[in-house]
Amino acid sequence: MEIGIVLILFCVSGYTMLAKSLSKTVITAPMFFIVLGLVMSQSGILEVHDSKEVLYLIAEIALIIILFLDASQIDLRQLKKQNAWPLRMLLIGLPLSIALGTLAGYIFFPHWPLAMIALVAAIMAPTDAALGEAVVSNKAVPENERQTLTVESGLNDGLALPIILFLASLVAMSNAPQEDNLDWLMFGASQVLMGIAVGFFMGWSSGRLFLFGESRELTSHIYQGIGVLALTGTSYLMASLLGGNGFISAFVSGLAFGNIVKGHCRFIYQFAESEGQMLVWAAFIVVGLGLLPGALEHLTLPVAGYILASLFLVRPIAIYISLIGTKSKPVTRLFLGWFGPRGLATALFALIVSEQILGDYANAVLVVAINAVWISALLHGITASLGANWYGKYAERMMPK
């Protein structure tokens, strides 16, 4: 195991030295680190069965922190005032993506229970800005489009999570004795409601306490990061202890905290751009190392067809419809619809619900989700830089002279 870890760290160091040059090519960080994990697994350098619990722990920690930090960077008041596109994509496009994904799933998996198909569609709905970094960081793309994709990807994972947990409870309920059905419904409801309540209380109270300490000069920027990470973990654990879902709590806590402190806490922005990248890379290595080998073995034509339909049809159609009535042009709607790659949220949500709830259906959900991540990483990685540059030139031509 030590040799494998050394090689991974060596590759990480090498990537950081070439990151700027690689950013101009079709090779993205998610592509690189997923392949790295897969190579380590297939070569036998790193034995997965010896460290499965460690991989799951890394995945959970990554998801908790990502949910909190993504939500904490969203200013809800400014979002409502300045840009209606992400709101429409979240409030209309996200449910529509799940509905259309369920319809597509029924075509490709006609023998699956309806709740199972809807669950897979919900897991496939969140997007990941890390896979489209070449788009959201490309100055040639107008700021409105870049902000729209960033805000959408920051919020849609947290908004999809309650739906995913509810549908997972329905799947588990269909596989349990009839007398346990009410218990599963109560479990799903308590997970969502208690998670929201605990998250809001933790985020709001911590934000007020943070501003009080800053106004009295009781703390400094040096210690902000420690406090924010502690708040993230506390929000997760408190919800779990009280019967709620820790991931929902972390997301709601970040949303409440970020909108209370409103730019006073620099850490939530700096961490996401620096140390947070290491966490994201580690999570992609976990996907390639522990999850992708098994998913590839069970990749079938119906699974591949569903994934391609989800990428090329389901989300683009849902986003296009959600933006009807705005000033966005048809090309802009297609651009925003395509650049919604499936990433860590899809993989980690599938991993979490399969471990905790699904039982017999766990493997099928993981196969679809994990294969969707690497296929999306490949397709969106190849098209990100080219598509962003093309759209930037298109937007420039469309500007009034």
pLDDT value, residue 318? 96
User: What is the helix (H) or strand (E) element at residue 374, kind and residue range?
Assistant: helix 362-398
Report which of 154, 130, 138, 149 is spatially closest to residue 395, judged by C-alpha positions.
138
- DSSP characters for 200-269? HHHHHHHHHHHHHHHHTT-S-GGGHHHHHHHHHHHHHHHHHHTTS-HHHHHHHHHHHHHHHHTTS-THHH
Report which of 397, 318, 337 is spatially closest to residue 132, judged by C-alpha positions.
337
What is the C-alpha to C-alpha distance for residues 142 and 278, in angstroms, rounded to an integer?
A: 28
pLDDT value, residue 266? 66
pLDDT value, residue 83? 66
> What phi and psi, each to the nearest 5 degrees, are found at residue 180?
-95, 0
Specify whether the CB–CB gap between 365 and 294 falls below 8 A. no
pLDDT value, residue 214? 76
Q: Which residues contact 67 (CB under 8 A, 6 or more apart)?
A: 157, 158, 161, 247, 250, 251, 254
- Global pTM value: 0.86
pLDDT value, residue 179? 56
Give the length of the chain: 401
What total of structural domains would you count in the chain? 1
Range of the domain at 70: 2-398
Mean pLDDT per segment of 10 residues, for the chain of length 401 residues? 82 85 78 89 74 71 83 75 81 95 95 92 87 78 87 86 86 66 70 90 89 77 76 89 88 89 68 69 85 90 96 95 91 92 86 72 88 92 87 82 55
pLDDT value, residue 122? 95
Q: Which residues contact 387 (CB under 8 A, 6 or more apart)?
A: 135, 335, 338, 339
Q: Which residues contact 104 (CB under 8 A, 6 or more apart)?
A: 121, 306, 309, 310, 313, 314
Which CATH number covers residue 124? 1.20.1530.20
